Amino acid sequence: MNNTTPIAAIVVTYFPDDRITDRLAAIRREVERLVIVDNGSSPEIRVKLESWAAQNSASILASTENRGLAAALNQGLVWSESEGCEWAITFDQDSTPQSGLAAALMATALSSAMPDQVAIVGAHTFDERSGRDDRWLQPAWFGFRRKSCGQADLVGVTFVITSGALTHVRAWRKLGGFDEGLFIDYLDHDLCLRARKAGWQVLVSSAARLAHNLGSKRGVVVAGRMLRPTFHSAVRHYYMARNRIIMWKRYAFRFPHWWLFDVLFGALNTLRVLLAEDERRQKLTAILGGTWHGILGRSGSLDEASNRKASCTHDS
């Protein structure tokens, strides 16, 4: 594999905060092409993004409604493909690349033992608030392990998050793109697990550093123990709970180490909500509702799931 085409960056925005243009500027310095996919922000925000894009040789694809993160990422990757880019880096609106991120991601892809089979290279992400490095899931002889990067790239990673991930456009196309039915959560798990199932590699680049924020995560002391809940909204908890069940149906038998990890993660997430977060009743209701919808196999946006429920009730 010899990359001679420009690398694209895709940034999905949805009512971003005031620091968005600073983050966009940091991303723009890393790549030859940049597209902002705005997913239904207000007209005022859209004008601000369009103005920045015009001044910084970037493109913008704006939607009047929130079509979901998966649809926005697919839209950005189609654009990257049309620009002749073999690789694209996807970014959340709250992530900031450290200098040299794109070059480091590409170096990891090219130095792989099987470079033509590399589908996705994740960034070495760390929490912007605490500075703590994230850890990545790998299978172990019994169960799973979670490993930090340190100074070495990681191979055989189960999944990486979409933000800061270098995606091979050909692999994305062959795999069928992001599942738009998932709407927002578990997109990264799904694409990476499909890639691994099809024989593609998922890696992490130790030198590609990315400051990332997960929800409104902060430490809360409960009974003398420090918990770090995300303080996601009830709607996000709905999607996480629903998509978790959908994913278990797809991959539990093929990737049992991932399933075991996710069962424990889901239980811990629910415990954090019950012990440390606000709006507990609404969030628990959302988790239960999402779980039930997952069992029933419903997908799409929350509104679509509700509409299907109403339709079924009417038909009966």
119 Cα distance to chain centroid: 15
Q: Is 16 exposed, middle or buried (0-12, 13-18, 19+ CB in 10 A)?
A: buried
CB proximity list for 122: less than 8 A, separation 6 or greater: 136, 157, 160, 161, 164, 165, 166, 202, 203, 204, 205
Considering only the top CATH level, what class is 7-212?
Answer: alpha beta
* pLDDT 10s digits, 238-287: 999 999 999 999 999 999 999 999 999 999 888 888 887 778 899 999 99
Q: What is the share, in percent, of the chain residues with pLDDT greater than 90?
A: 75
Q: Do residues 207 and 107 lie in contact, with contact meaning Cβ atoms separated by under 8 Å? A: yes
Q: What is the chain's mean pLDDT, rounded?
A: 89
Domain spans of the chain, in order of start: 7-212, 220-315
Q: What pLDDT is attached to residue 60? A: 97
pLDDT in tens, 235-246: 999 999 999 999
What is the model's pLDDT at position 5?
A: 76
Helix/strand/coil for 125 = strand
Distance from C-alpha of 263 to C-alpha of 260, rounded to nearest angstrom: 5
Q: What phi and psi, each to the nearest 5 degrees, are found at residue 177? A: 75, -175
pLDDT in tens, 200-229: 999 999 999 999 876 555 555 554 555 555
Q: Which residue has the tokens 């009417």?
A: 314
Sign of CA dihedral 206, 210, 215, 221: positive
